Structure 1
Amino acid sequence: MEGKTLKLDNKLNDAFEYNGSYFEEIGDFIKENYLEYGFTKGTKQEVDFLVKIMDLPQNSSILDIGCGPGRHSLELARRGFNSVGVDISSEFIKYANQVAKDEKLKAEFFVTDARELKFSQEFDGAICLCEGAFGLAGNEDNHRKVLKNVYNALRPGSLFILTVINALSAARSITDNSEFDVYTCTKIDKDTITSPEGETKDVKIYTTAFTFRELKFLMESEGFEVETAYGCSAGDFSEKTLTVNDMEIMMIARRK
C-alpha cells in the first residue's frame, strides 16, 4: 500500500440538503387552511404552559419565530402580552394581521425569513414552536443563523422556548409515504395540500430532526444556556421527562 492513496466512497459528500425557503410556497398556497390540521387545535393548552414557564408580566414583548398564521402570538396577545410574529409566508402574515386588527390585539406580524432577523435586544421572551423555521431551515449553517438571530433579538436573561422533532422518534416512524435521510436526520413526507379555494397540490415536507445532545450543543455554541428539556407533542405541553417515544423535544434555554 506504500505510495498509494486509499480512495473511499465518502457518502458525507453527498449528504442530503433541501432549500430552507421551501415552506414559503406551501404556506402561501394553503393560507388559513393550515389551521385545519389537527396539530393546531391545542393552542390554548400550549399557551397556558408557555405563560407558566416564561413567567412574564403582562405587556411583556414576546417574539414568535415561524409563527405561521399566528395562533400562538394571537393567543398571547389575548392574554395581555405584546406579540410580534415573523414568518416566511406572506399569506400567513396577511391572515394573522387581519385577525389582530379585527380583535384589536397588541400583535404585529411581519414577512421575514428567520435566517435574516434584524432585531437587537427588543424582546422579553421568544418562542419557536411546531417546526416554525427551526427544523425547516435547511443545512446546519442555516439553523445556526436562526439561533444566532433569536439570541440577538432577546434581552439578556430572557427565555427562549423551542420545539423540534425528536430524531430518535422520527427514525422509528417511517411509513411508505415518507423517507428519512440518516446523514442529516431529515424526514421527507409526501402530502397533498388544499387551498381555501379548493385547489390541491402534491408537495414534499422536509423536516430536520434533532437529538437533545445535538440541540444542547448547537444552542450553547450560539450563546444560550440550556436549562432543561421536555418531551412533548402538539396540544400536550408539560414538564414531561423526555423519552425516545416523544414526537418532539422542547428546549428551555436562556439568553446569557
Structure 2
Amino acid sequence: MNKYYGESGSYLKDHKDYFTKKQLDIDVSFLRCALSFKKTDKILDLACGDGRHTLEIMKKGFDIDGLDFSNFLIKTAMEKARKENIKVKYYKQDIHSMKTGEKYDKVFLFFSDLGILKPSKLIKNVIKVLKPNGSFLLDSDNIFRLISYLKNNPKDPYDFDFRNQELIDKKTKEKFGYYTCKELTDLFEANGLKVTKIYGDYNMNPLTLESERTIIVGKLA
C-alpha cells in the first residue's frame, strides 16, 4: 500500500477524474459547513495527500496544517504551496502516531481509505490533538453501497468477505477493513466524541444504504 501512494504508485492517476476544480470547490464548501470553520480556528487535514484541500482552505483565509505518511505526496504538496507562494505547515507522519506539537479546533479525515487504517487507534490519536470542544470529521466509503456495487459488478478486481467485513484484492489478496456507521459512531462515543452530524454525501444529505459516503462529525466534550 505504501507503493500505491508513492512516486511510482497510481493514487493520483486513479483519482484524476475526481481531482477537478469543480469537485474541490464542492469538497471545501462541504467541509466549511459541516465543521463550521471560523477564522480563529486551527485546522488539521489528516491524510492530506497532495495538499489540494489544505491549500484551498488556506487560500480562504483559514489556518490549516496538513499531515500524510507518504513522503512523495507531502513533497508534492509542499511544491504546490511553494509555487503559489503560500506558507503551509506539512507533517510527514503516520496518523496512528502523529505528534505535531499543536492542538486543533477542527480535524478532518476526508475522502479517506479507512480500510488501510485502524479506526480505534486513529480516533484515540485525534483526541490527543483536539482542543476542548474541538470537532473531528471522518469521511469514508459507505460499506452497504460498496457491497451492492460489487454484487452488480462481479468482474471488479475486488471481492468482499462478509464475515470479516473486508475488501479483498483478488490479485494480491490484500485485505482492507470496512465499517458500518454504527460501528464508527460507537467508536466516537466510546472515546469521548459526541456525534453531532451524520451525512451520506458532500451535499449534506442524510445517510442511507445507497449513499456514496459515510460521514460522521463528533465533538470532544
Normalising by structure 2, what TM-score?
0.87
After superposition, the Cα gap between the structure-2 partners of 1:219 and 1:185, relative to the gap in structure 1 and judged at 3 Å, is same
Map of 1:103 onto structure 2: 84
Change (3 A) 1:241 1:88: same
- Give the CA deviation at 1:100: 1.3
Partner secondary structure for residue 219 of structure 2: strand
The alignment status of 1:38 with 2:14, answered yes or no, reads no
Structure-2 change in CA distance of 1:108 and 1:226 (3 Å): same
Root mean square deviation, CA, Å: 2.2
State the match for 1:162 in structure 2.
138
Instruction: Show the counterpart of 1:27.
Output: 5
> How far, CA to CA, are the matches of 1:111 and 1:238 in structure 2?
31
Q: Please give the secondary structure, in 2, of the residue aligned with 1:39.
A: coil
Residue 238 of structure 1 deviates from its aligned partner by: 2.0
Task: Answer whether contact 1:119 1:149 (CA < 8 A) is retained.
Answer: no
- RCO (CA 8 Å, sep 6+): is it higher in 1 or 2? 1
The Cα of 1:83 is off from its aligned counterpart by 1.7
1:250–1:205 Cα change, 3 Å = farther
Q: Secondary structure at 2:9's aligned position in 1? A: helix
Q: State the partner residue of 2:57.
A: 76
> Which residue in the other structure is 1:221 paired with?
190
Is it true that 1:245 corresponds to 2:210 in the alignment?
yes
Question: Max radius of gyration: which structure?
Answer: 1
Deviation for aligned residue 1:56: 2.6
Partner residue in 2 for 1:197 = none
Distance 1:245 1:185 in 2: 18
- Structure 2's unaligned 5+ residue stretches are none
Give the conservation status (yes or no) of the 8 Å contact 2:4–2:11.
no
Consecutive unaligned residues of structure 1, counting only runs of 5 or more, are 1-21, 191-201
Partners of 1:124 and 1:161 in 2: CA distance: 11
**Structure 1: how far apart are the matches of 2:77 and 2:5?**
13
SS in 1 for 2:215: strand
Q: Tell me if the contact between 2:42 and 2:64 (Cα under 8 Å) persists in the aligned partners.
A: yes
Q: What corresponds to 2:43 in structure 1?
A: 62
Compared CA separation, residues 203 and 110, structure 1 to 2 (3 A): farther
Check 1:90–1:117 CA distance in 2 against 1; reply closer, same or farther (3 A cut): same
1:36 CA displacement: 5.0
Query: Is residue 123 of structure 2 the alignment partner of residue 147 of structure 1?
Result: yes
* Cα offset, 1:217, TM superposition: 0.5
Q: Deviations over 1:78-119 (max 9, x none)?
A: 111122111111000000011112212242212111111124
* Count of residue correspondences: 214
- Sequence identity (%): 25
Shifted more, 241-250 versus 169-178: the winner is 169-178
Which string of whole-angstrom CA distances, capped at 9 and with x for unpartnered residues, describes residues 193-229 of structure 1?
Answer: xxxxxxxxx9777543221111111111122111121
TM-score, with length taken from structure 1: 0.76
Q: Secondary structure at the match of 1:45?
A: helix
Q: Counterparts of 1:79 and 1:31 in 2: how far apart (Å)?
A: 30
- Note if contact 2:91-2:100 (Cα within 8 Å) is conserved in structure 1: no
